[in-house]
Amino acid sequence: MHALIVTAHPDRDAHTHRVADQLQQGITATVHHTVERADLAAEGFDPRFNPGDVAQFKGLAASPPDVLAEQQRVDRADALVLVYPVYWWSFPAQLKGWIDRVFTQGWAYQEQDGRIVKRLGHLPVHLIALGAADTRTYLRHGYFASMRNQIDHGIFDYCGAPVVTSELLLTGDEGYPESHFQQAQQLGQGLFADRRPYDQ
């Protein structure tokens, strides 16, 4: 089985990348499982929704080449994992722009006869958000429900992609940062636990 891990942090030494590294190690520790990393910051992915994206949305043109390349990455994957820091209670702008541009009509979903056809039902999604506030702060302000409404439901359910994991790891967690690395390793090791290698 093959996983695509997507990150968007400009500092390669950041906790985000260290968690993603541990996740990758957990996945590849199991025979036959492979990983591709999409490091959007290092690769310089342009998150700006541009005239080419608008033309695609209106059905006037194909997606721009950089978007098609990202869609091919996702198409190769048996699971999509997003590892990201919480910026202003959401994704970093580059990761949000990746979703804006890559999850296009006709690929991720289709408007047909007045209804939405969800096209990513085959793609399990795992979300690992990394935050700096403590759990009480997030609970007090309703962040957990907000995250699920905005991201789990608002993005992935709209496309039919089942969100299997939705974790918020915080700097105040017991054993931080090692506990985060252990959780990432465990998630990686169990990512395809309910699926046989090379299942279709």
pLDDT tens-digit readout, 81-127:
999 999 988 999 999 999 999 999 999 999 989 899 999 999 999 99
37 neighbors 27 (Cβ within 8 angstroms): no
pLDDT tens-digit readout, 27-49:
999 888 999 999 999 999 999 99
Least Cα distance to 81 among 89, 72, 93, 73 occurs for 73
22 falls within a domain:
yes
pLDDT tens-digit readout, 133-169:
888 888 888 888 888 889 999 999 999 999 999 999 9
197 falls within a domain:
no
Report CA 69 to chain centroid distance, whole Å.
16
160 falls within a domain:
yes
In this predicted structure, the answer to whether residue 70 has a pLDDT above a threshold of 90 is yes
164 falls within a domain:
yes
Of the pLDDT bands very low, low, confident and very high (cuts 50, 70, 90), residue 200 is: very low
How far apart (Å, rounded) are the C-alpha atoms in residues 142 and 148?
A: 10
97 falls within a domain:
yes
In this predicted structure, the answer to whether residue 12 has a pLDDT above a threshold of 80 is yes
Q: What's the DSSP call for residue 200?
A: -
177 falls within a domain:
yes
What is the sign of the dihedral through the CA atoms of 94, 99, 100 and 101?
positive
95 falls within a domain:
yes
Angle, CA 117 vertex, CA 114 and CA 118 arms, to 5°: 145
CATH number at residue 32: 3.40.50.360
Residues of the domain holding 86: 2-190
Taking residues 4-12, report their average pLDDT.
97
Would you state the pLDDT for residue 199? 46
154 falls within a domain:
yes
Would you state the pLDDT for residue 195? 65
Residue type, 100: D
Query: How many domains would you assign to the chain?
Result: 1
Would you state the pLDDT for residue 197? 45
